[in-house]
Structure formats: structure tokens, C-alpha cells
Structure 1
């Protein structure tokens, strides 16, 4: 379902009443989730958002997001856990196990066939047709997919373990997983079970979940096993040869030994030292800790990564800075009640001096492409204004071989006009800055009130009138993609400030999609910079356009993001003059 990129319709915070209803629905859908586990999954005092999306097949899906990770998705009033939730609660659903090569095909959009399911001495879990189940890989109980059983366990065994077993809804590495922090599955050791005899191998089954048994199978010359890999009518059967070849190539979940917390600690330290050594100046001190985080530390994130202190071992910025203070790297003081500032930095500290910044550290934001949703560095599009020849202007262009509907650049139009004037000897004999108006120019460029009085036109006036009377169009070319031509002038990114209740202001940003920018990603980046909540809603009067709304007057930060990071030309941004005036320093 999520093997291809989906379109986000809106992304908003969940109301308290909707949160309460969701907790009730999840509790009734998954009775094994105790009150404590449910509170851990959806903490009552932490933000919970809902993203409404359309998948590539057109289905409307609601995705519930906590701490930037999708935890539950809703389809046709049914609730399904994501792999992020199952990694924290691996026993939430009945579990079936398969091999890594089979999973590679599942992650590409295929369903799970019964020959790809492993058998243990305890048999298969007892499920009914339509039961939601989790799929794991051999040697690890961390689920990598969820699917709906197409038949009961009894029918599976009766069929000789042939045919389709599960309709796969969501997998590790699909676009729903990519909507989160893209972390790897944890390594959850399998329960110690007795392995079934290997007699089933003659029937094409691989029946062990023990890593030691895998080695034993290799020693038994798996090439003698008659199982083959086929994909006929969507059916996947496990090939011993393919397993041997792909085993070394497929990134197994056990490669993710480094915990997310340790990874975030490393990223936090890297951005911290980079900010101290290359960004913060002595004139910036004293520096508010919140401003240091927003304007310096976040700006030093490598491409495609984001610092989330809550996921580090420090949990809070104040604790991290306190640890750095204990190492005598900097000094933090409370200059005003409840507000901490960095007042001193030891730039000659060995850790600061020895730090070397990676080659690519400034965040060039990424965007999704249509080739499977892979992320690539964002580059601004090349925008070219074009002018179409309409019926009224056609007589002026016919001599140059152009036809109605042809699109020309401004330089092409100017060249055609110059050629026409010189060919017909219309340059004024006394003043070469003027052109004599002939019947064709009169019909094409003059208003009714001017036709009897206006006999001469300046060169610039002639070209300007010509461009104004042609059909405006524009061509947008993104790097690596075919150019797209649209009628009319391209709409600029519109930034506006609106007043809400209680004298609160919000900043609204429109038309980001026209420049290849994902509104949700832009909103998330602004949220990091200004520490304010944002939401994405459908732009009124459109079906597939989204506007970003963020609390406060954030025009200045929005402008910096678009101009400096995304490199959008200033002429394509409206509303930069609405930035709030900086307050006077006391």
C-alpha cells in the first residue's frame, strides 16, 4: 500500500476530544495493550498529530504521528499499527516468520505467499481469515511488515502451504516508514523454541527460526533442495540459490546494532562542536541557549538529518549544556529569571580545536522524487517565461515562419520584431529610435483610439506592447526531470500574516508545491527554527494544493529558509516586507 510515494492532504494537531476517542478505539482494537502501554504509546501530555494522505491507488488514509514517527494508520475505519509501534510491542499481533530474500520482494509491493513462511515444531499461530498479523525475519522478533491473512491457519495447512498467505499493507523501508525517522529495526532475540525436523525441506519449506540451524542447512548443501524462486501471478517461492547470492547483499536487521540514542548523541556532539568552532563569534555572547539551538546548532545538521535532543541520552538542552559546562567547554548563566544564556566559550579547548567539520554539513533539504520516493538533495527549478502567439499577433510572426500557438522567449520575440522592422524598412529615417507604424503593427499593437493618431513607436514601446498582447506561459525544469510548460505566469510563493483570536498572529505560506517543495517538510523545518507549532491544510479553492500555517509572525525566518537554504530567487517570493520589526535591545 505504501510502496510508492503518497500525497499529504493535511497535517494537523489532534484535538483532546479526538485523542480520547482514538485511545478508546485503539484499546478496543488491540485488547492486549494495557493502560500503561497505551499511555506509553500516546503520552497524554505530548503532541499527537494526524496526517491525512492519499496513497497511489487513491485510498484515503489517516496517519497518527507521535514524536515524528507514525504509530497508527486508519483505513476504512480500521486501525493498523506501524512497524515503529510493533518494535516497541512485538507481541501485539500474531507473528509469522519469513526469510530476508522474501522480505525484499514484499518491500517492493508483493504479497506474502505460503511457501515463504517458516514452520517451527510448534506449528503456525492460530488465526482466522482476515486476521491482522505481523511478519518477522528469521533470527529477530522485530516485525518488518504487517498483513491480513487470506485464509485461516487450518486452511493454510490443508492447502499444503501453497498459494497466497497474506495481503501486505505496510513494510519496513516503505514510504510510511520513511515518513518517520527512518530508524532500523531493533535486535529482539527470538524465543528459544524447538526446531522442527528438516523433512519438510523436501516439500519446499524452510522450517527453522534458529540462526544456528541456518548454518546447519548450509552445511547440508542447500543446492539439493528443490525449492525454487518464482514469481508467477504475484506468487513468491523461496530459492535456495537466490538466498545464497542475496544473503550477503541484503542489509540484515542485525546490522543496526548502534542504538538510535547513541546515533543521536553523536549527531548532537558533531553539530555542537561545529557550531562553536565555525558559527558562534565572540560578539554573539551572551547568547540565549534557545537562540543557540535554533540559529546555530540546527543550522549545522548534515544533509538529510535532524537533531532531536529528546531522542538523545540527555533528553533536554539544559542537561546537555550542563554536561558541556562540566567539561569546561562553555559557561552558562541565568542572566534573567528562568532564561539561561551562554556567556563564555573556551575556543581553545582541545575538543573544539581538534574538531573537523564533515565536507557536507549545511542542510540542503531533500525532496521526494517519483522514482520510488527516493530522496535527493533539493535544487531550485529553472523557470523560464514564455510567450504564445495568438490569432491577433499571428500576422506579425508569419513572415518569420512561426505559427499560432508557438511559444517564444522574450529574446526570441525581440529578434522577430527587429527582423520584421528591418525587412519592411520601418525604421524612421530622421530618428532611428522610432519605428513607423504600418498596417500590420497598427492592427496587432494599437488600441482603437490610437489607430488614427499614433504614427511612430519607440523600440522599447514596440517590444513591450508585443509581449503584453501575447499569451503568457512559463516552463519549469527541475534537475533530472523533463520540463513542464504551463499557461499563465507562475504564481509566486505567497507569505501572509493573519490575525487569530486573542490577538494572536499566524504566518501562512502558499504555492510551495509549484517550486518542488513539500509543505510538510517546510513546516517541520520552520518548527525547528522558531519552536512554534504548524499545520498543513488544503488551500481553499484547490484540490491538490496545501498551505502551511505556523504560529506567530515568522515571515523573517520563512524568508531566510526560502532564500538562503532553498535558493529560491527573491522575485518569486511575495510578502517578505511583512516581517515583524525587531525589538529594541535594552
Structure 2
């Protein structure tokens, strides 16, 4: 629903009585269980153990505060939603959970007085709504505003009993099955469903999701907060959820489903999730894959061996005492940069969910118990690695094994379909990029100076038009103080200099003449006269304004640039953040490992905070702006297109 940014009015604090009423309404609507005195203390008499609303207990106050924090604010909002962009108005409730910034926690809109939780509320209040599951590739499509189709449900039957028509539900992907990232309303009675493959129509209508404008809202402008890795108190993953993906039947996914506007299940994606494309796992699909489905113990061993392999490589390539490792190591870095690249078998059977630990935190704790690493628990439940025993006997006796060949990345869409000549797996290496600026004239200049206001012109073409205008009006060049100057006529004075006038324009009008080059600069610099657009040309592409290529469409606004931000974290530690890569055809997932090697430090790739879903940033430990500039330069990015923001330096007062 909230694909477009809502217009939010001024926030105002809730009175304590209104906050309690709001919390009690939520408790009643969502049937939130509040322990009574009898449940807290079995010795309490029956009279003391009355309903929570009639006899408040400390537990009731705690539940109220968890649902609606004491510092809760409210504001009215308007937005356009739906296929017809219908105007929708309602109320948002903003609050801050302990140790975190303020976020939108509840939504109320339309004629219905029902309150809808955001993902921030669900992350702190497990179990208040039923939790459904769907494959991760479907989650990505749900983030575009599509409804969840019935065939996209996995994990049942049986389905959650509370998932009835009209109820609010949450949806999680299979990668993080305990973390809800999508909120919707049941359009059908899901609890009574049987086998969903072959069914048609939408099951859940989307209201809010991680990545939309409500998730992204923040008073301090910091953008959305990334979801946690795991929420232990949410309902456990329904039995057979992961196995259910491989059983999805695609034959009934016909045009009727597509007409509903929901998420279609693509055969290619199902095959990718299930790992089956016509024969079971007992057959050999790719070189290096085992001929049988591995046991949990085998997957555990593969993860431990992959971690030791990463330590072995670090010792081989780095210098003591830390061998290029920048501690503490985050869980995401351990999985992405140490485990995944060094797994002997890289397929759907070798994931953290298939291990006996089920999540990264318990895996790291296991390494700590084996005396291979030293760990520490941080606020929020995250476990980081503080140190590694590089001289452990398991590392000394490690025998390297053959790793699967990395899959070659495909060429970028705009490189003309040409194969890369660098021989590597990164198609952006060696590419040649050119930024070209073109202009679109306003009606003030048409047709006296420029022929059309729909055509894009280069600066040289606009200069030629201006020169031709002077030739057609020779009186403008006579009687001036210098041959470089021209007189002002009504067109120049009224249409050019009077458009967004400045102090220099006023002086020019008083003088009655202007330099030719100054007039051209005045036209090009004023967006009210010529709106600038940019084109990024790759590998020798050219743009002819007289005969434009339909595939090359100029984009308005300032030209793109690569952002390099240096900032301090946890005291004196400096990190380098790189974003804005995708527009230049650079894959952050390929650049990250390369920077890790070049910078001899840890690097990770994640969602850009405050950016659109799918826009990534690379984070490298340490100050490596020079290395980053060199690496993006090898990928065709000119130094003029790189913006470095050093936040580590103290600002001058």
C-alpha cells in the first residue's frame, strides 16, 4: 500500500489515558494474552486473578508499553494507494522501543478503525498475529506491492488457526523464517485450506512491508532499520516449510492468477529453491556435488571445515598477528566472506538452516566452545568474534580441498551484449564509460531560439542555435562596447534574463548588453530555461540527438556519482562505505570480495540504509578511499564522478 511517500502532518504526543486506551484496544482486537495475578502467582486467590482490564497487573503495564511505548506520538497522514491511486487518509502512531530510534509502529486508515502493526512492532511483539511463510523470491515481489497468491503459501496444511478472512497476518521468507517482513489482510479463510498448489486467486492483500515508505520513515532521516537475523519468541517454522517449496506445483499457475495482480510462481525460481530440475538429489547435477543428500552431521562438518579453510587462506596471504582480519568479525561477514566461499559443496543442502545449529549465533558459539575463536555477546543479542586462534592444531593440520568453480557473472544489460575482454568474472572490469549531458528547452525559448521543447539537445547544439539567432538579428551586434558583446532585445531581456533573475541579471539589464559566452552560460545554467538530463554511455556507445536510440533515454536530475563515506564506529574504528555502484554497471557483490583482498581487511555487502530496496552498499573496515577510487576507476568510473565524504574529521566551528 505504502509504495508512495505519505504526507505526514505534525506529530503530537498522546495523553497517558489515550495511550492506555489505544493499547487496550490492540490487546482486545488481537487477543493478546496478558498474564493475570493468578497465573503469575498460583497462590493468589481467584478474586485477585480477574481479567487484566478490570484488575491491572504489572504484566498488563509491560504489555501496554511494548505495544504502545510511553513516548508515543500520533499524526494524520494522506497518501495515494491502489491501482487507481486512490487518496487514502489515516493516522500513524510513532514510538521508540528501548535503545532504538523512533519508528512508525501502528497504522490506522480508511473507515475501518482497526489498527495495523508495522514490522517494527512485530519484531518486538512476537505472536500477536499469525505468521505465514513464502519462498524468498516471492518475498522480493511482495515488496513491489503485489498481493500474496494462494499457491505462494508454503508450510501447510495445517495452517495457522487464526488466519481467517479479514484478519491481519504477517509473512516471513524461508531464509529468515522467524522474522516477519510483510503485513497483510487475509482475503480468504487460510486456516481451512488444504493443498494450495493448483489453487487460484490472492490469499493475502498487502498493507505494509520492510522496504516501503513507512518502514523508511525516521524523524532523524536515517532510513529504515534492517531486520534482525532471528527472533526466537516467534512461532517456530512450521514443519515442512522448507520441504514444501520443492513440492510447489506450477501447472495450474495460468493466466487467471496473473489477472489478480499477485505474485506468480516462476518455474525457474522454484527450481532454484528446490534444487530439482527433473531429477532428484540422488543424481549428480553439477561437478563437485555429492550423489546423496547430506546428513546434518555432514553439513556441520562442511561448515567447520569452510571456516578453517578461511583461516588457512588468511594465514597464507596475510601478515601476523591478525593476518588481514579486522576484529570484531560480524556474523554476516563470517557467513558471506568466510563460510560461503570455502564450502566444498555450494547448493541448497549446505545452508545454515540445514546444520544442527540452525543459526549463525549458535554456530559461532560452537566455534568458541572448540577453543578456535573468542566471542562476545553484544547488545541486541548479536555475537561477534573478537579473536581467532591461528595456531590451533586444526588449522595447522588442515589439508585444502578443491573448491567449486565460481559461476561467471553475466554481462551487464547495457554493455551492448558484448563479452568482457578482461577474462575475469566481473563484467564491469575494463568497461569504458562516458557521461553525456543533454538539455530539454522550456517553452520560453521555443521557437524563437530553439526549435522544439521535446527534443534533447547538446550544449554545442544550443550554442549553434544562439549563434544562428545573432546572425538572423545583425542589429544586436552593432554599437556594442566590444565584438564579444551583443545588445539586449525584448526576447533576451524578458525570456532569458527575467527568468529566475539574479543580481548580475539586474546589472546586465541596466547596461543593455551581455557577452555572448555569458549568455550561453546563463541559458545552460538556468534549469527554468534548459532542464539538464544525463546519459551514461558504455563501451563506445554514442547518442545522436537528431536520430536518438530508443534504448538510450536521458534521465533528469544531476549526473550519478559513486559515494564514498568515511565514518567512525565504536569509538576510533574507521569504516569506508561505498554506494551508488549499480548505475555504473558495477555489481557490489563482486566488488566487495575484491576490496577485501586489496584492502587486506573485512568487507561486507548489505542493503543501503535509506536507499531503495535492492540498492546495496559495500562496507570495508578501515580508511581505504584511495583503493576504492582506484578500483572503481578500473571499472570505468572517472574520478570526477566520485564524491568522498570524510566524516572522521572534526567540523570547523
TM range (shorter): 0.3 to 0.5
TM-score by length of 1: 0.42
Q: Which has the higher contact order (CA 8 A, sep 6+)?
A: 1
